[in-house]
Chain A
Amino acid sequence: MIGIGATLFKRMAGGSRFSPSSLFSSGEQGVWYDPSDLTTMFQDDTSAAPAVIGQPVGTMLDKSQGLKLGSEVITNGDFAADSDWTKGTGWSIAGGVAVADDVTSQNLRQNGVALEENKVYSVTFTIVSISQGTVLGRFGGTPAVDSVAFDTAGTYTFFLRANATNSSFMLRGQSGFTGTVDNVSVEEVLGNHAIQTTSVNRPVLARHPEGGIRNLLSYTQEFDDWSKSNATVTANQIAAPDGTNTGYKVNENAATTPHYILQTGFTFTLGETYTQSVYAKAGTNNIVQLLGTTAAFGSQTWANFDLSDGTIGSKGTATAAAIQSVGEGWYRCSITTTVTATSGGSGGLTALVPLKTSSRVFSYEGNPSNYIYAWGAQLELGSTATQYQHVTDDLRYDITEPFGANSLNYLKFDGADDGMSLTGLTSPNTPITAWFGYSATNAESSDLKSLIDIQTGRTIFGASSSGTNQVGYYDGAWSGFATDANALKVLTYDLVEDNAKMRVDGIQEYSDTTYDQRAIGGQIGFFASYPLTAYHLAGNLYSCILRAAESTDKEIASTESYVAKKTGISL
Chain B
Amino acid sequence: MNIFSTVIVTNAKKKAAQKVINDLYYVPATDDEAEHISTRGEGFFDIELKKGISKYWASSGAFQSEQLTALINNVSPYYVVIGNDFQAALDACGLTKVVVEQII
Q: Which residues of A approach B to under 8 Å, CB–CB?
A: 43, 55-56, 88, 105, 107, 109, 140, 142-144, 197-202, 204, 394-395, 397, 414-418, 447-448, 458, 460, 474, 529, 531, 533-535
Contact = CB atoms under 8 A, between A and B. Distances in A.
Interface string B51-73: 00000001111111001000000
A534 B32 contact: no
B30 to A, nearest CB: 7
Interface residues of B, number: 34
A143 B27 contact: yes
A197 B38 CA distance: 12
The 10 closest A-B CB pairs, nearest first, are A198-B43, A200-B61, A56-B62, A142-B36, A416-B86, A534-B100, A200-B59, A143-B36, A416-B60, A142-B34
B20 to A, nearest CB: 13
B2 interface: yes
Nearest to B62: A56
Contacts of B67: 199
Contact of B2 (A55, A107, A143, A534): A55
B63 A142 contact: no
A88 B31 CA distance: 10
B33 interface: yes
Contacts of A140: 32-33
B15 interface: no
A395 B5 CA distance: 11
Contacts of B36: 142-144
B38 A143 contact: yes
Contacts of B44: 198, 200
Contacts of A105: 30
Nearest to A109: B32
Nearest to A531: B102
Contacts of A529: 102
B102 A533 contact: yes
A140 B25 CA distance: 16
A142 to B, nearest CB: 4
B104 interface: yes
Nearest to A417: B47
Interface of A is mostly: loop
A198 B40 contact: yes
A417 B90 CA distance: 14
A418 B4 CA distance: 13
A391 B25 CA distance: 35
Given A55-B62, A414-B86, A458-B104, 14 more contacts: A88-B32, A142-B34, A142-B36, A199-B62, A200-B60, A200-B63, A204-B84, A395-B4, A414-B61, A416-B86, A417-B60, A531-B102, A534-B99, A534-B101
Contacts of B102: 529, 531, 533-535
A107 B31 CA distance: 10
Which among A43, A143, A535 has the greatest number of chain B C-beta atoms within 10 A?
A143
Contacts of B46: 417, 533
A483 to B, nearest CB: 22
9 contacts: A56-B2, A56-B61, A88-B32, A142-B34, A142-B35, A199-B62, A415-B86, A534-B102, A535-B102
Contacts of B104: 458, 460, 474
B103 to A, nearest CB: 10
B94 interface: no
Contacts of A144: 27, 33, 36
Nearest to A445: B99
B37 to A, nearest CB: 8
B2 A417 contact: no
A202 B64 CA distance: 12
Given A201-B43, A533-B100, A417 B83 contact: no
Contacts of A534: 99-102
Contacts of B86: 414-416
Contacts of A448: 101
B38 A107 contact: no
A414 B38 CA distance: 26
Nearest to B40: A198
Contacts of B100: 533-534
Contacts of B4: 204, 395
Contacts of B58: 416
A144 B32 CA distance: 11
Which of A200, A202, A414 lies at the interface centre, i.e. has the most chain B CB atoms within 10 A of its CB? A200
A56 B64 CA distance: 11
A140 B30 CA distance: 12
Interface string B82-104: 01101000000000010111101
Contacts of B47: 416-417
A465 B92 CA distance: 30
B32 A417 contact: no
A202 B61 contact: yes
Given A56-B62, A142-B35, A199 B83 contact: no
A84 to B, nearest CB: 17
Given A142-B36, A199-B2, A204 B60 contact: no
